[in-house]
Structure 1
Amino acid sequence: MEKDSVGFRSYLAPVLFLAAIFFQNFISRIILAPLLPSIEKDLALSHGQAGSFFFLMTAGYLVAMMGSGFFSARYTHRRTIVVAIATVGVALVLMALSGDLWGMRAALLLLGMSAGLYLPSGIATLTQLVDPKNWGKALAIHELGPNLGFVVAPLIASILLTWLSWRSILVVLGGMSLLLVMGFARFGRGGDFAGEAPSFTSFFVLIREPLFWAMMILFGLGVAGSLGIYAMLPLYLVFEHGADAEWANTLVALSRISGLGTAFVAGFATDRIGPKRTLFGILLLTGLITLLLGVSAGRWLILLVLLQPALSTSFFPPALAALSSSGLPVSRNVAVSFTIPLAFLFGGGIVPMFIGVMGDEGLFNLGVVTVGVLLLGGSLIALTLKGRGRN
């Protein structure tokens, strides 16, 4: 039966299966943030060394995501998904068994690389399963994975650290990954076709375009304001403001709930006033709130922690719309495949490491303030964007 003759409900189960895999893939990476105070204490690490974990993980993610097409072209998308999530499970167990800094770093690099294999093949499998007229709904369900992960990861850490060590929590998550991949290998649908190896000619075309660099800077700042701050926020609250680790993780989890809805508001605003104006407003407000986050304390700090993610997570709908309508001399998927990984390397890798190094110097606050200033600068870059459609 042709998929255009079948209702969306017929594909709901496999779409939810892929969303569960994406959730597991994402939470396996960000669980490090709420566990970081415990890991830092157990391994006697500095803030800078702890922050470098995110750089290593993101570097592995960048390499694997940009090269995933070569793997899927040879082994199919389905096998790529199986290998990706299975290796995530193995990497988590290796992290739990690490007894020193270098063992931890090697496992984190492996975790980033295995996680980076999933997304291109996951999206290709999902869009092959579902009729194009239902792609919006299917992708929205799939994107619930990372949005729920931001909320659930701190709660898992807060609850399980009462009974388990950080190592045991990683083993539990690793076991869940292995169970999930066995389920997908046995019952999962779709992905039984080869991918397409990327052309690096397109990359050299892109890097000659000033607009590409503007979009990469904006996406890097968007990731910095969202994932970069999230990664170091529990550590910042515990060591800079003397918060209890359980309370800090609970506060961070609560702060992410609003992001489940504000992204839709940002999408609506993009349709009404255009991506350029929406991005300007989001980056301006996120930068201001992030700057204040670095200089506030007490009740004001709690309010800002709750407010900052509501704004920072609104970045991506208008940013993707701006990238899609940018008029870059390559296809949209090529522009996305090169822009997003590089942005994650900066915002999700370099920025957390920078904040950690500043923390070692007794300047944790200044590290957060610097990110806020960069976001404010990004709002001015957003005003330079041009593209088809409403600006």
Structure 2
Amino acid sequence: MERYTNFRGQALLFLLFLWFIWFINFSVRMVFSPILPIIEDEFLVTHARASSIFIFLSAGYALGVIVSGLFSGKIGYKKSIVCALAMISMVAFLIPLAHNFFLLYLFAFVVGFSVGLYVPSVIPLITEYYSEKNWGKAIAIHDTGAAAGILATPLIALFLLNFFPWRGIFVVFACVFLVCSVVFLFVSTEVRTSNPPKTTLKDIIKIRSLWLMAVLWIFSMGANLGIYSIVPLYLTKELNLTIGYANTVLGISRLGSVVVAVACGFLIDRFDLRKVMFLVMIVTSVLVVMMGVVSVKYIGIILFLQASCVTGFFPIGLVALAKTFNREMRGLATGIILAVSNIFGSGITPYLLGISGDLHSFRLGITILGIFVGLASTLVFHLRELE
């Protein structure tokens, strides 16, 4: 197929539609965070048990990205994305029926799995639709959908809670996903790759940079979604703020993330990719540590700065993946790294922070996480493929 060489007309509209799909994918995955205090109170569970929902979300996501990485290129990226959107719509309709906490685990797993099918399909799709010189900008613009989702989700939840109980939020999401699946079916063109050789998976897992980037992604994901997931609990249960105020602070703290994500997309086309990645991670490390030690009156400012900074890592990381792996390996490599980083970064990290909150304080866990982010940032300079 002929690739788009600019961002005008149909090229821009298609990219914006992909952006919206990523936005709602990320939103439905993260909506558990702003309503977690309500769920915790309704089901009478501990911080750790409530936070363990994110383990099931992440485990499902990890399985989804692996499955998508293995098979989406063969069956077609369009079919994979339509299937993912339809599955999310179905499970979102079912979540309001859950009156047992274990059912929430099951539904969270399926939501994570369905969202996981999307990314390994859309990144190769973008690299097929747009010329290589525009990959950085296209991927960065698309990735701001996640940043916007993180920003908007608590505000959307707060708004919808004025009209529905927390269960009704998922019905709204279900309707939106149903519409998007139908629209995408008609406006997109199928893209497939040739069947990768049988040694592809074996070859990929032997690549040193795969695991170096996996570690970078784990701690960046932990500093982003890991912290995001427990912030409402941290603010309401430990700092004694109201849930409305906590979700407002959580949403506002993400205002700068969209701008930073786009800016990084343009910076990586002009500056050394590794240096930009290191700078983002080391500054994030400092801000995460500060989040664990500053007084309550400064927490909003630190949250804003930290959330804005850490978001810049992900468009950089996705471009690094695209440049490190060839066309046949790209989807699977993306799937492996996203799987590992989501299990540990956005699944186990909030669970460990929840345990820290139960046994001592959220502050201690957040501070330790910040230190590890700083240590991990030094691995950037061992990514030889990006020299």
Q: What TM-score, normalized by structure 2, do the two folds share?
A: 0.89
**What does 1:142-221 correspond to in 2, within 5 Å?**
142-185=142-185, 187-191=186-190, 193-194=191-192, 201-221=199-219
2:288 — aligned with what? Answer: 290
Q: Tell me how far 1:48 sits from its aligned partner.
A: 1.0
Aligned positions of 1:29-68 closer than 5 A? 29-68=29-68
Within 1, Cα distance between the matches of 2:295 and 2:99? 36
Matched-pair contact (CA < 8 Å) for 1:93–1:170: yes
Q: 1:307 and 1:36 mapped to 2: Cα distance?
A: 24
More divergent stretch after superposition (223-232 vs 116-125)? 116-125
Can you give the 5+ residue segments of structure 1 that lack an aligned partner in the other structure?
none
Q: Deviations over 1:29-52 (max 9, x none)?
A: 011111111111111121111211
- SS for the counterpart of 1:258 is helix
* Match in the other structure for 1:305: 303
Distance 2:347 2:296 in 1: 29
What are the ranges of 5 or more consecutive residues in structure 2 without an aligned counterpart? Answer: none
- Which 10-residue stretch deviates more, 133-142 or 17-26? 133-142
Decide whether the 8 Å contact of 2:136 with 2:268 is kept in 1.
Answer: no
Question: Which residue in 2 is equivalent to 1:340?
Answer: 338
- For the 8 Å contact 1:53–1:108, the answer to whether it is kept is yes
Whichever residue aligns with residue 368 of structure 1, its letter is I
CA distance in 1, matches of 2:307, 2:7: 35
- How much identity, in percent, do the aligned residues show? 31
Output the CA distance in 1 between the equivalents of 2:322 and 2:128: 21
TM superposition shift of 1:123? 3.4
Q: For residues 36 and 138 of structure 1, do their structure 2 counterparts lie closer, same or farther at Cα, with a shift above 3 Å needed?
A: same
The aligned length equals 386
CA distance in 1, matches of 2:378, 2:121: 35
Q: CA deviation at 1:85?
A: 0.6
On the 8 A contact 1:69/1:196 being kept in 2, the answer is no
Residues 213 and 160 from structure 1, CA distance in 2 versus in 1: closer, same or farther, beyond 3 angstroms?
Answer: same
More displaced stretch, 253-262 vs 13-22: 13-22
Query: Structure 2 vs 1, CA of residues 370 and 316 (structure 1 numbering), >3 Å: closer, same or farther?
Result: same
After TM superposition, give the deviation of residue 249 of structure 1 in Å. 1.0
Question: Structure 2 matches for 1:1-391, cutoff 5 A?
Answer: 8-69=8-69, 71-72=71-72, 75-130=75-130, 135-185=135-185, 187-191=186-190, 193-194=191-192, 201-267=199-265, 270=268, 274-320=272-318, 322-323=320-321, 331-389=329-387
Q: Give per-residue Cα distances to partners, 1:319-370, cap 9 Å, x unaligned.
A: 4455566699x95555433223211221111101111122222422111112
**TM-score, normalized by length of structure 1?**
0.88
Match for 2:275: what amino acid?
Answer: R
Mean Cα displacement is larger for which, 33-42 or 69-78?
A: 69-78
Alpha-carbon deviation of 1:76?
3.1
Distance 1:57 1:96, change over 3 A: same
Deviates more, 1:300-309 or 1:262-271: 262-271
